[in-house]
Structure 1
Amino acid sequence: MSVQPDASNDPSADHALGQRVLREHVASVYSTYGVSTLTHMAFVVVFGSIIYSQLKDPSLLFWLAGLLMADIYVFFTPRWNPSRPVRESAYWARKISRMVTLVSMVTAVVPWLIVPHDNLPMTSLLMAVIVGSCARAAQSLWPLKPALFGYTMPMSLGMITALAWQGDGLHLFLAAAGAAYLLLTLHAGVGQHKLLTASLMLRFENEALAARLGEQIAATERASEEKTRFLGTASHDLRQPLHAIALFGAALENELRDRPEGRNAERLMRAVNALGASLDTMLDVSRLDAGVITPAPQPVQLDALFLPLNHTFAARAEQKQLQLRVRASGLWVHSDPQLLHRMLSNLIDNALKYTARGGVTVMARERGDAVWIEVRDSGIGIAPEQSGRIFEEFYQINNPGRDRSRGLGIGLSIVQRLSRLLGHPVQMHSRLGRGTHFRVVVPAVSAAARELIGALAPAATADAATGQRRGPAPVLPGRVLLLDDELEIREAMMGLLRSHAIDAHAVADEAGAAAALRQASGEGRPFDLLLCDYRLADGADGLDAGLRLSQGQGVTTPLLLITGETSPDRLQRVRESQVPVLFKPVVADSLLQAMAEVAVAR
């Protein structure tokens, strides 16, 4: 028995597939091996006894003994079982084909012993038995064509020739009927064999495809994890020196504020801040993926939200000779003002990047219980085949040279994440060469709620929309302890803090910090704030160390964590600890503001 699989470019794969199919055929045939053999032996005894009792021909006893011996040999000979290796399938297919052929050849003798007696009832019984055996073989042996042919043809041909040998019309008719039945049986068996073979080959091919797909998915997941680890490590390693540069630059800018050299310090800080903004954009993706950002939905007046957006992008639009139209609507929506501001800011920023002439329009329309906030541009548009990729990280249209002025290609990815976080669907419609418009669907605030919040001061609403805070200058802590294992950052931080008249002390490890806290407590001059880096030397965890130190010495010292980590798992851990955190590189004003807030909260 051989299986002929479809030709392919990999002969070894075709051979392996053929071996698996053949093994399934062999397993199917051998699954009824024992029961079929015992049943056949019992039937031979009954059938032989009936025939002998009617014909009294001693030769029938010799035939009966020979057939029983063949059945006994078939039953006790070693047989296939599932533990047999696949490579032996062809051997077992040949073996069972030879055995069933042997049984059939012994059976083929009996028509020559019965038909010549011209006993029509016995002849009819013989034909019924042989036809039934062929039918059974067509059902159980068609997985192996040699076995099917080997079992059906000898006994059928023996019966047909014995009938035809008689020469009279009745026997010739019976011989023709037997021949026709044999042909139909073989034809049906071959057809079933082909269907089964094709089905098994398709099944195994699908399993192979599924296995390869699983391997590809696993490889993709590993690559994604490796990419995440690489970006996390690279981001941290970039943030460390940039954080030091920002601190040194802020201290230098403060010292040179009223001197001519101060202009260079200002230019330096603008470059540092631009680089920090790029890193913060990547950090936003990690924070969103980590679930660190929790929305705080509230009624938001869109006009108060649109005003700062107009101020932010008007100068840039004018520089590109574009018209920026931000239309007032008088509508209120229910959303997180800061996160919605970020979504619209990214959409407007993206529209301005890809618009060379014309302009950008920002508008809002009420539609039932929702408000459609739309950002329309007259830019280059998006081809249909690219529309599914624009929300991918780092994907940019028509920017093969990675022009830095067009950003990193993360803005729309952040929009998509914020859309899921806030539950504000984002819809996009675009025509290539004609422009694009994005629509953000936001829940509207009911009329009753508008009346309730109508007394809010416009200035307070605008501050809520953009997250701005107004008030007196922050009161900085008097004494600060810094725990950071990098010398450059300790020196930079000391320079910045001391330039603002803060008594700062820096240490490199937890033991040094504990000693400094004990000394300060003994002198009666405890520290007002503990600044701690997240990643310390030798893999020490700054969060755990900071929590231990802040609760030590019988005095609670406010803790402010500073980190360059972007790993979602670690960001989630920081969030769960509820410790205030700043992300490197830290802008001096943000650092001082956070220090004042943590110290006051004490």
Structure 2
Amino acid sequence: MRFEKNNELDQANLRIIVASCAIAYVALLGFLPGRSLLTYLPVLLYYLGFVVMAIAMRHAISRWPGHYPARRIFGMIQDYTGTSFGLVVGGEAALPLYAVMVWINLGNGMRFGSRYLAIATVLALCALLVVWRLTPYWQEQPFLLLMLLTTSTLIPFYAHLLLERTRKATALAEAATREKSRFLAQASHDLRQPIHSIGLFTACLREARLGDEERRLVDSIDRSLLNVSQLFRSILDLYTLDNGRVQPKYEHFAVDGMLRELLRQNAEAARWAGVEMRLVASRQWTRADPGMLATMVQNVLSNSLKYAAGRPLLVGVRPRGDKLAIVICDQGRGIAEEHQEQVFEEFYRVREARDKDVEGVGLGLSIVRRLGGLMGLQVRLRSRPGHGTTVTLDGLPRVDAQAPRVSLEQAQQAGLLTGLRVCLVEDDRNVLQATCALLQRWGCEVQARSSPTGLSSDCEVIVADYDLGPQATGIDCIDAVRAERGWNVPALIMTGHDIDRLQASLHERGIAVLAKPVRPAELRAALRGLRDQLPASAAQG
């Protein structure tokens, strides 16, 4: 709808501009040698009235947007009437106005499609015949009329062929885009499952009694899994941004808490890379989308861990008037000036001989800049070869501190999971086995189900996958258990689908959600948060 409204507004704006140009042209004719302005005064007065009508038409389009065929055809008739009037009164001197007639014809066709192109062509031919009938000069030039009629027919016909080709090409491109979207959506779900299960199995191994050699092997698996997960998330982030489905969801939060959590999540990767990460403490609060901002900082941190291995990394927040800037400084090899703008392009990497073992495809900074654009942030990069790189995320609004909330780190310290009765519903056998084993190592009593059929449980917490086959979803399972128990049992959905699509249904039922692949630390924190929601009677039982 918005696209069509803009087309009509554009057409209305051009109508006013062209009519104004016609007024200037006719007025100029009155000042030529041997001519009088009084001769063209009726034309000038008519076109002034035409401009008034055009302004009124534009106001109507702006006030009542939408697709109104009668209004579009009325606009064409108005255009051809004005052009024909100028051609009749102006005689041979007004012949350049024929270009306006061609513009009316093609403009309506290109903006509104082949149907309107055909209507405009018929009206143009009728207008030319009327002008010929009323103009002695045209009657004396039959070949002129023939040329104009031929031109007014052939040009729109050729434009119609181009429009048809464009329409077919657009349809094919849209079909390809839909197929790509379906493929990526399915691939997203299917790839999340094995990555998710491998991460859980690795967490189980890490908590077992391992020797030094076995622990090194687990570290190697974790490093490889981290690289795959980061690449996977980058591709999905890019796909989501290309679909235009990402919109910021603003919240007030302490920047320091978000940064500390990100550094904690990257502590293991920093240890593997030999990077000492330091955070300058800050008490600043901002209003932004915490998920988007965390993704931006995460991508910058990932680059620093890759390209500044073995060097210290400094993260801090700088106040700048009523704004804040997050600054990430590393002491890596730096980026040459000629590459500093190009590194924000998709798939661009500054490759050197020793980079052959560095993972990545060059999407991180592109995603950072695009996410920053959605929130109105500026992403700046300053680097000197041999002296490191500084990335600044500038433009965060500075707000007053809010009432303190329980941080994720505090939530992780609140209570143990020992004895927590968990109903786990997951139709993927590997994921079910891995999640069950990990929960049991954390001390949970797990009631594992691979199917929603005949589900019955005396659990305190429900953990379910969303996609459980054609019979039911995880939400259906949660509703069924809650109905059986007679109270809203705390619940968590883990899904490989687009969370935004499920957010409304989950929010109204009070169901938490985690996107696969889920890190064990995220799952543990979520379970402890759910346990805190248990009423005293349920917790004691």
TM-score bracket, shorter-length normalisation: 0.5 to 0.7
Contact kept? 1:380, 1:432, Cα under 8 Å: yes
Measure, in 2, the Cα distance between the counterparts of 1:439 and 1:430: 8
Q: Deviations over 1:335-390 (max 9, x none)?
A: 45955454334235436656799998867665443345555786334658x94782
Measure, in 1, the Cα distance between the counterparts of 2:451 and 2:338: 55
- The change in CA–CA distance for 1:243 and 1:360 in structure 2 (over 3 A counts) is closer
Measure, in 2, the Cα distance between the counterparts of 1:250 and 1:568: 28
* 1:275 aligns to 2:228 (yes or no): yes
- The change in CA–CA distance for 1:32 and 1:574 in structure 2 (over 3 A counts) is same
Question: Which runs of no fewer than 5 residues in structure 2 stay unpaired?
Answer: 1-116, 535-541
Contact kept? 1:529, 1:599, Cα under 8 Å: yes
Amino acid at match of 1:334: T
SS at match of 2:453: helix
Contact kept? 1:287, 1:571, Cα under 8 Å: no
Aligned length: 412
Give the corresponding residue for 2:416: 474
Q: Deviation of residue 425 (structure 1)?
A: 1.8
- The change in CA–CA distance for 1:285 and 1:33 in structure 2 (over 3 A counts) is closer
Q: Deviations over 1:478-509 (max 9, x none)?
A: 32222222333333333333334432222232
Q: Deviation of residue 231 (structure 1)?
A: 2.0
Measure, in 2, the Cα distance between the counterparts of 1:485 and 1:142: 78
Contact kept? 1:430, 1:436, Cα under 8 Å: yes
Give the corresponding residue for 1:42: none
- The change in CA–CA distance for 1:547 and 1:388 in structure 2 (over 3 A counts) is farther
Q: Deviations over 1:176-231 (max 9, x none)?
A: xxxxxxxxxxxxxxxxx49x83x766666556555544544444443333223222
Q: Deviation of residue 529 (structure 1)?
A: 1.7
Q: Deviation of residue 260 (structure 1)?
A: 6.8
Q: 1:237 aligns with which of 169, 190, 200?
A: 190
Q: 2:358 aligns with which of 405, 410, 413?
A: 405
Q: Deviation of residue 414 (structure 1)?
A: 3.5
Q: Deviation of residue 407 (structure 1)?
A: 2.4
Contact kept? 1:383, 1:431, Cα under 8 Å: no
Contact kept? 2:329, 2:389, Cα under 8 Å: yes
SS at match of 2:188: helix
TM-score normalised according to structure 1 size: 0.53
Amino acid at match of 1:494: C
* 1:442 aligns to 2:395 (yes or no): yes
- The change in CA–CA distance for 1:226 and 1:391 in structure 2 (over 3 A counts) is farther
Contact kept? 2:138, 2:145, Cα under 8 Å: no
Give the corresponding residue for 1:87: none
- The change in CA–CA distance for 1:320 and 1:231 in structure 2 (over 3 A counts) is same
Give the corresponding residue for 1:545: 477
Q: 1:590 aligns with which of 518, 522, 526?
A: 522
Give the corresponding residue for 1:223: 176
Q: Deviation of residue 559 (structure 1)?
A: 1.8
SS at match of 2:447: strand
Q: Deviation of residue 23 (structure 1)?
A: 13
- Superposition pairs for residues 145-294 of structure 1, below 5 Å? 193=148, 197=151, 208-209=161-162, 211-257=164-210, 261-282=214-235, 290-291=245-246, 294=249
Measure, in 1, the Cα distance between the counterparts of 2:262 and 2:449: 43
Measure, in 1, the Cα distance between the counterparts of 2:238 and 2:419: 32
Q: Deviation of residue 568 (structure 1)?
A: 5.5
Contact kept? 1:477, 1:599, Cα under 8 Å: no
Q: Identity of aligned pairs, percent?
A: 25
* 1:559 aligns to 2:491 (yes or no): yes
Give the corresponding residue for 1:390: 344
Contact kept? 1:373, 1:442, Cα under 8 Å: no
Contact kept? 1:376, 1:436, Cα under 8 Å: yes
Give the corresponding residue for 2:450: 508
Measure, in 2, the Cα distance between the counterparts of 1:252 and 1:215: 55
**Alignment RMSD:** 5.3
Give the corresponding residue for 2:438: 496
Amino acid at match of 2:436: M
Give the corresponding residue for 2:286: 334
SS at match of 2:251: coil
- The change in CA–CA distance for 1:558 and 1:256 in structure 2 (over 3 A counts) is same
Larger Rg: 1
- The change in CA–CA distance for 1:266 and 1:211 in structure 2 (over 3 A counts) is same
SS at match of 1:379: coil
TM-score normalised according to structure 2 size: 0.58
- The change in CA–CA distance for 1:143 and 1:25 in structure 2 (over 3 A counts) is farther
Measure, in 2, the Cα distance between the counterparts of 1:493 and 1:272: 17
Give the corresponding residue for 1:105: none
Contact kept? 1:483, 1:532, Cα under 8 Å: yes
Measure, in 2, the Cα distance between the counterparts of 1:474 and 1:218: 56
Measure, in 2, the Cα distance between the counterparts of 1:479 and 1:506: 11
Q: Deviation of residue 305 (structure 1)?
A: 7.3
Contact kept? 2:195, 2:517, Cα under 8 Å: yes
Q: Deviations over 1:96-121 (max 9, x none)?
A: xxxxxxxxxxxxxxxxxxxxxxxxxx
Q: 1:295 aligns with which of 236, 245, 250?
A: 250
Q: 1:599 aligns with which of 503, 528, 531?
A: 531
- The change in CA–CA distance for 1:353 and 1:291 in structure 2 (over 3 A counts) is same
- Superposition pairs for residues 302-381 of structure 1, below 5 Å? 332=284, 334-336=286-288, 338-339=290-291, 340-350=293-303, 353=306, 367-373=320-326, 379-381=334-336
Measure, in 1, the Cα distance between the counterparts of 2:126 and 2:398: 74
- The change in CA–CA distance for 1:246 and 1:307 in structure 2 (over 3 A counts) is closer
Give the corresponding residue for 1:425: 377
Measure, in 2, the Cα distance between the counterparts of 1:335 and 1:570: 24
- The change in CA–CA distance for 1:581 and 1:292 in structure 2 (over 3 A counts) is farther
Measure, in 1, the Cα distance between the counterparts of 2:482 and 2:470: 21
Amino acid at match of 1:234: A
